Amino acid sequence: MEKRPLGRSGLWVSPLCFGGNVFGWTADQRSSFALLDGLVDAGFDFIDTADAYSSWVPGHAGGESEAIIGHWLAARKTRDKVVIATKLAKWARHPGLSAANIVSACESSLKRLQTDYIDLYQSHEDDRSVPQEETLAAYGKLIAAGKVRAIGASNFTAARLAAADDIAKASGLPRYDSLQPLYNLVDRDFEKELQPLCVTRQIGVIPYYALASGFLTGKYRSRADLQGKARGGTVGRYLTAANLALLNRMDAVAEARGVTPAEIAIAWLRDRPSVVAPIASATSLEQLRSLIRGAQLTLTAEEVAKLD
């Protein structure tokens, strides 16, 4: 399995990133260990999480996903086999991108992850109340201390990402070598301004919601299909005539190939300009194997045109 460079960071990663948002939420520790074992056994190595996961779950404080990954790293002795990406700024316990918070949040994440370093440390969202020079300088100190290898941004506008890149170049500060945006076959605003910027400036893209919260698996085609589902409210917004027509086209391509719609969605996204590795999560080994097959599938130009 061929790895890909993540922007200009020097990190090389597998063409699929496992989304750790499910750890401690819809996957307990035992299931999470099995999923992580399956990922590594298949030759994949890229894992994304955040300090805020899974603070939205009643009774959870946040930090659960990182803690489960940390327990797994300690139990399996696999730290040198994986690339760990985590994020800060959105958790109420460590909000924003001030220098003091970045240092504090990093120390907390390192402790939960039971590791000495974070491969990719990402700003989970922009913080306009803090000068970007301050944020990048704080990251620079963590990199110099060996606690972080590279940094990335998530949910930034094109203007703010470009400004951060310009500041980094002018001031000799570390740059955001990756961007984690919302991007998939139905959410395509990324293509307007962010994609050209990332291509031009060699910023590697690791899009989240690669399967549109499960919509692109084809399982949800009516309101009735969403009853009792954890992401029902999120998926419901995709139930439009245009998107359902897209599912029908995906069905046709998938049937001709003998694969699933989810695998088609992953394959399409993986080969978009600037994309390095789609982020997708799974709660069963069967789902994980499907994601891996999608990451190894190459669509023809005709198939891509049909989907577009």
Say how far residue 69 (Cα) sits from the centre of its chain. 15
Residue keyed to tokens 């109420």: 92
Q: How far is CA 197 from the centre of its chain?
A: 19
Contacts for 86 with CB less than 8 Å, ≥ 6 apart: 48, 49, 50, 51, 66, 109, 113, 118, 120, 121, 122
Distances in whole angstroms, Cα of residue 234 to Cα of each of 211, 241, 246: 12, 17, 18
Structural contact between residues 257 and 297, judged by C-beta atoms closer than 8 angstroms: yes
- Cα 275 from chain centre: 11
Q: Is 53 annotated as catalytic? A: yes
- The DSSP secondary-structure symbol of 191 reads G
Q: Long-range contact list for 189-193, CB < 8 A, 24+ apart? A: 193/157, 193/158
Token pair listed for 83: 């690339």
Identify the DSSP state of 245: H
Residue 144, H or E segment: helix 132-144
For the chain, the 3-state helix, strand and coil shares in percent, each to the nearest 5, are 45, 15, 35
> Judging by DSSP bridges, how do beta strands 83-88 and 204-205 pair with one another?
unpaired
Q: Are 32 and 23 in contact (CB under 8 A)?
A: yes
Catalytic site residue from 53, 176, 209, 238: 53
The torsion angles phi and psi of 178, rounded to 5 degrees, stand at -140, 160
Active site residues: 53
